[in-house]
Amino acid sequence: MNIAEDIRTILTFYRTLGFERLPLKFSSKFEVQSSKAKEDEHSGANPSIVTRCSSEDKKAAIEELRREIGDCDRCRLSEGRKNIVFGEGNPDARLMFIGEAPGREEDIQARPFVGDAGKLLTRLIEKMGLSREEVYIGNIVKCRPPQNRDPEEDEMATCSVFIDRQIRIISPKIIVSLGRISSQTLMSTKVPISKLRGRFFEYKDIPVMPTFHPAYLLRNPKDKWLVWEDVQKVMERLKESGEQI
Protein backbone atom coordinates (compact mmCIF):
# COMPACT_ATOMS: atom_id res chain seq x y z
CA MET A 1 0.00 0.00 0.00
CA ASN A 2 1.50 3.40 -0.95
CA ILE A 3 1.34 6.67 1.00
CA ALA A 4 -1.58 8.06 -1.03
CA GLU A 5 -3.65 4.95 -0.32
CA ASP A 6 -2.76 5.18 3.39
CA ILE A 7 -3.97 8.77 3.53
CA ARG A 8 -7.17 7.97 1.64
CA THR A 9 -7.87 5.06 4.00
CA ILE A 10 -7.37 7.24 7.09
CA LEU A 11 -9.61 10.00 5.71
CA THR A 12 -12.34 7.47 4.85
CA PHE A 13 -12.27 6.07 8.35
CA TYR A 14 -12.53 9.41 10.13
CA ARG A 15 -15.27 10.56 7.76
CA THR A 16 -17.16 7.37 8.65
CA LEU A 17 -16.94 8.30 12.33
CA GLY A 18 -18.31 11.75 11.58
CA PHE A 19 -15.17 13.89 11.93
CA GLU A 20 -15.17 16.99 9.74
CA ARG A 21 -11.44 17.48 10.27
CA LEU A 22 -8.63 15.20 11.35
CA PRO A 23 -7.64 15.11 15.03
CA LEU A 24 -4.14 16.27 15.88
CA LYS A 25 -3.08 12.81 17.01
CA PHE A 26 -4.11 9.35 15.87
CA SER A 27 -5.03 6.92 18.60
CA SER A 28 -3.04 3.70 18.46
CA LYS A 29 -6.26 1.65 18.34
CA PHE A 30 -7.02 3.28 14.99
CA GLU A 31 -3.57 2.47 13.63
CA VAL A 32 -3.88 1.82 9.90
CA GLN A 33 -0.85 -0.36 9.53
CA SER A 34 -1.91 -2.98 12.04
CA SER A 35 -0.44 -6.45 11.87
CA LYS A 36 -3.69 -7.69 10.32
CA ALA A 37 -3.50 -5.04 7.62
CA LYS A 38 0.08 -5.96 6.89
CA GLU A 39 -0.86 -9.63 6.59
CA ASP A 40 -3.66 -8.73 4.17
CA GLU A 41 -1.32 -6.55 2.17
CA HIS A 42 1.23 -9.33 1.80
CA SER A 43 -1.50 -11.78 0.83
CA GLY A 44 -2.71 -9.48 -1.94
CA ALA A 45 -6.03 -8.73 -0.22
CA ASN A 46 -7.69 -5.33 -0.33
CA PRO A 47 -8.88 -4.83 3.27
CA SER A 48 -11.44 -2.12 4.00
CA ILE A 49 -10.97 0.32 6.83
CA VAL A 50 -13.84 -1.32 8.72
CA THR A 51 -11.89 -4.58 9.06
CA ARG A 52 -9.33 -2.60 11.10
CA CYS A 53 -12.02 -1.19 13.39
CA SER A 54 -12.72 -3.41 16.39
CA SER A 55 -16.13 -4.03 17.93
CA GLU A 56 -15.16 -1.70 20.76
CA ASP A 57 -14.27 1.04 18.28
CA LYS A 58 -17.60 0.64 16.48
CA LYS A 59 -19.46 0.80 19.78
CA ALA A 60 -17.61 3.98 20.71
CA ALA A 61 -18.35 5.52 17.32
CA ILE A 62 -22.06 4.69 17.61
CA GLU A 63 -22.17 6.21 21.10
CA GLU A 64 -20.41 9.34 19.85
CA LEU A 65 -22.96 9.66 17.04
CA ARG A 66 -25.79 9.44 19.58
CA ARG A 67 -24.18 12.22 21.60
CA GLU A 68 -23.82 14.30 18.44
CA ILE A 69 -27.54 13.96 17.67
CA GLY A 70 -28.32 15.14 21.20
CA ASP A 71 -31.84 16.38 21.93
CA CYS A 72 -32.38 16.90 18.22
CA ASP A 73 -34.51 19.76 16.89
CA ARG A 74 -33.22 19.72 13.32
CA CYS A 75 -36.68 19.21 11.81
CA ARG A 76 -40.33 19.70 12.82
CA LEU A 77 -40.74 16.07 13.91
CA SER A 78 -39.00 17.08 17.14
CA GLU A 79 -42.02 19.20 18.07
CA GLY A 80 -44.34 16.27 18.74
CA ARG A 81 -42.09 13.42 19.74
CA LYS A 82 -41.57 12.08 23.24
CA ASN A 83 -38.23 10.38 22.57
CA ILE A 84 -35.59 10.06 19.92
CA VAL A 85 -35.45 6.44 18.73
CA PHE A 86 -31.80 6.14 17.82
CA GLY A 87 -31.59 2.42 17.04
CA GLU A 88 -30.27 -0.57 18.90
CA GLY A 89 -28.40 -3.82 18.55
CA ASN A 90 -24.92 -5.11 17.89
CA PRO A 91 -22.58 -2.37 16.55
CA ASP A 92 -20.64 -5.15 14.82
CA ALA A 93 -23.75 -6.78 13.34
CA ARG A 94 -23.59 -8.80 10.14
CA LEU A 95 -27.25 -7.99 9.43
CA MET A 96 -29.03 -4.65 9.72
CA PHE A 97 -32.78 -3.99 9.51
CA ILE A 98 -33.96 -0.50 8.56
CA GLY A 99 -37.55 0.67 8.82
CA GLU A 100 -39.10 4.06 8.12
CA ALA A 101 -40.01 5.76 11.42
CA PRO A 102 -40.91 5.07 15.05
CA GLY A 103 -44.52 4.43 15.98
CA ARG A 104 -46.41 5.12 19.21
CA GLU A 105 -44.82 2.39 21.33
CA GLU A 106 -41.37 3.13 19.94
CA ASP A 107 -41.80 6.82 20.81
CA ILE A 108 -42.77 5.92 24.37
CA GLN A 109 -39.99 3.38 24.94
CA ALA A 110 -37.29 5.08 22.82
CA ARG A 111 -36.60 1.74 21.14
CA PRO A 112 -37.18 0.64 17.52
CA PHE A 113 -39.78 -1.98 16.60
CA VAL A 114 -41.28 -2.77 20.00
CA GLY A 115 -44.99 -2.54 19.12
CA ASP A 116 -47.03 -5.22 17.37
CA ALA A 117 -45.01 -4.83 14.16
CA GLY A 118 -41.84 -5.06 16.22
CA LYS A 119 -42.95 -8.31 17.82
CA LEU A 120 -43.50 -9.72 14.35
CA LEU A 121 -40.03 -8.56 13.29
CA THR A 122 -38.52 -10.17 16.39
CA ARG A 123 -40.18 -13.49 15.52
CA LEU A 124 -38.83 -13.23 11.98
CA ILE A 125 -35.30 -12.60 13.24
CA GLU A 126 -35.56 -15.57 15.59
CA LYS A 127 -36.88 -17.74 12.77
CA MET A 128 -33.72 -16.82 10.88
CA GLY A 129 -31.73 -18.33 13.75
CA LEU A 130 -30.65 -14.99 15.19
CA SER A 131 -31.65 -12.73 18.07
CA ARG A 132 -32.33 -9.00 18.24
CA GLU A 133 -29.08 -8.64 20.18
CA GLU A 134 -27.11 -10.04 17.23
CA VAL A 135 -28.51 -7.69 14.58
CA TYR A 136 -28.88 -3.91 14.40
CA ILE A 137 -32.28 -2.23 13.99
CA GLY A 138 -32.88 1.38 12.99
CA ASN A 139 -35.13 3.71 11.02
CA ILE A 140 -34.78 6.30 8.29
CA VAL A 141 -36.06 8.99 10.70
CA LYS A 142 -35.61 8.89 14.46
CA CYS A 143 -38.73 10.75 15.64
CA ARG A 144 -42.37 9.66 15.37
CA PRO A 145 -44.34 11.53 12.71
CA PRO A 146 -47.71 12.86 13.95
CA GLN A 147 -50.47 10.21 13.79
CA ASN A 148 -47.89 7.86 12.24
CA ARG A 149 -48.06 9.66 8.90
CA ASP A 150 -45.31 9.04 6.35
CA PRO A 151 -42.16 11.08 6.92
CA GLU A 152 -41.97 13.98 4.48
CA GLU A 153 -39.12 14.50 2.03
CA ASP A 154 -37.41 17.31 3.95
CA GLU A 155 -37.67 15.37 7.22
CA MET A 156 -36.05 12.33 5.64
CA ALA A 157 -33.36 14.45 4.00
CA THR A 158 -32.50 15.98 7.38
CA CYS A 159 -32.49 12.74 9.35
CA SER A 160 -31.31 10.08 6.91
CA VAL A 161 -27.72 11.31 7.20
CA PHE A 162 -27.68 9.68 10.64
CA ILE A 163 -28.81 6.24 9.48
CA ASP A 164 -26.19 6.59 6.76
CA ARG A 165 -23.57 7.20 9.44
CA GLN A 166 -24.82 4.18 11.41
CA ILE A 167 -24.55 2.03 8.29
CA ARG A 168 -21.01 3.24 7.64
CA ILE A 169 -19.89 2.55 11.20
CA ILE A 170 -21.57 -0.87 11.54
CA SER A 171 -20.73 -1.91 7.98
CA PRO A 172 -23.12 -4.89 7.94
CA LYS A 173 -22.76 -7.69 5.43
CA ILE A 174 -26.40 -7.21 4.35
CA ILE A 175 -29.18 -4.69 4.98
CA VAL A 176 -32.86 -5.65 5.00
CA SER A 177 -34.95 -2.58 4.21
CA LEU A 178 -38.44 -2.85 5.66
CA GLY A 179 -41.19 -1.29 3.62
CA ARG A 180 -41.66 1.24 0.88
CA ILE A 181 -40.13 4.33 2.47
CA SER A 182 -36.99 2.66 3.75
CA SER A 183 -36.41 0.83 0.47
CA GLN A 184 -37.13 3.81 -1.77
CA THR A 185 -34.93 6.09 0.34
CA LEU A 186 -31.94 3.74 0.30
CA MET A 187 -32.40 2.95 -3.38
CA SER A 188 -33.18 6.58 -4.40
CA THR A 189 -36.19 5.41 -6.38
CA LYS A 190 -39.97 5.68 -6.48
CA VAL A 191 -40.48 2.09 -7.67
CA PRO A 192 -43.21 0.39 -5.57
CA ILE A 193 -42.05 -1.99 -2.85
CA SER A 194 -43.98 -4.80 -4.55
CA LYS A 195 -41.58 -4.51 -7.48
CA LEU A 196 -38.43 -3.91 -5.38
CA ARG A 197 -38.82 -6.77 -2.91
CA GLY A 198 -37.11 -10.09 -3.39
CA ARG A 199 -34.13 -8.73 -5.35
CA PHE A 200 -30.76 -7.57 -4.05
CA PHE A 201 -29.69 -4.00 -4.65
CA GLU A 202 -26.71 -2.13 -3.26
CA TYR A 203 -26.34 0.81 -0.93
CA LYS A 204 -22.76 2.06 -1.01
CA ASP A 205 -21.42 -1.41 -1.84
CA ILE A 206 -23.57 -3.17 0.78
CA PRO A 207 -26.21 -5.64 -0.51
CA VAL A 208 -29.76 -4.57 0.36
CA MET A 209 -32.81 -6.82 0.34
CA PRO A 210 -36.07 -4.80 0.26
CA THR A 211 -39.10 -6.52 1.73
CA PHE A 212 -42.51 -5.68 3.16
CA HIS A 213 -42.77 -3.80 6.45
CA PRO A 214 -44.03 -5.87 9.42
CA ALA A 215 -46.91 -3.40 9.86
CA TYR A 216 -48.05 -4.28 6.33
CA LEU A 217 -47.94 -7.96 7.23
CA LEU A 218 -50.24 -7.34 10.20
CA ARG A 219 -52.82 -6.08 7.71
CA ASN A 220 -51.95 -8.62 5.00
CA PRO A 221 -50.84 -11.83 6.77
CA LYS A 222 -51.14 -13.81 3.52
CA ASP A 223 -47.93 -12.10 2.33
CA LYS A 224 -45.80 -13.36 5.22
CA TRP A 225 -44.51 -16.15 3.01
CA LEU A 226 -43.14 -13.55 0.58
CA VAL A 227 -41.09 -11.96 3.37
CA TRP A 228 -39.86 -15.38 4.44
CA GLU A 229 -38.85 -16.02 0.84
CA ASP A 230 -36.90 -12.74 0.86
CA VAL A 231 -35.04 -13.43 4.10
CA GLN A 232 -34.15 -16.94 2.93
CA LYS A 233 -32.23 -15.24 0.12
CA VAL A 234 -30.52 -13.11 2.76
CA MET A 235 -29.52 -16.17 4.77
CA GLU A 236 -28.20 -17.86 1.64
CA ARG A 237 -26.14 -14.78 0.72
CA LEU A 238 -24.67 -14.67 4.23
CA LYS A 239 -23.70 -18.34 3.99
CA GLU A 240 -22.13 -17.78 0.58
CA SER A 241 -20.00 -15.00 2.06
CA GLY A 242 -18.76 -17.35 4.76
CA GLU A 243 -21.00 -15.95 7.50
CA GLN A 244 -22.67 -18.54 9.71
CA ILE A 245 -26.34 -18.21 10.66
> pLDDT at residue 51 above 50?
no
Q: What is the mean pLDDT of residues 71-83?
A: 97
Model confidence pLDDT, tens digit, residues 95-143: 999 999 999 999 999 999 999 999 999 999 999 999 999 999 999 999 9
What's residue 13's pLDDT?
A: 54
> pLDDT at residue 230 above 50?
yes
> pLDDT at residue 191 above 50?
yes
What's residue 24's pLDDT?
A: 41
CATH architecture of 74-240: 3-Layer(aba) Sandwich (3.40)
The rounded distance, in Å, linking the Cα atoms of 123 and 120 is: 5
CATH 3.40.470.10 domain extents, the chain: 74-240
**Phi, psi torsion values for 231, nearest 5 degrees:** -75, -25
Quote the pTM value.
0.80
Using CA of residue 140, residue 141, residue 147, residue 152, what is the dihedral sign?
negative
Confidence of residue 2 (pLDDT cuts 50, 70, 90): very low
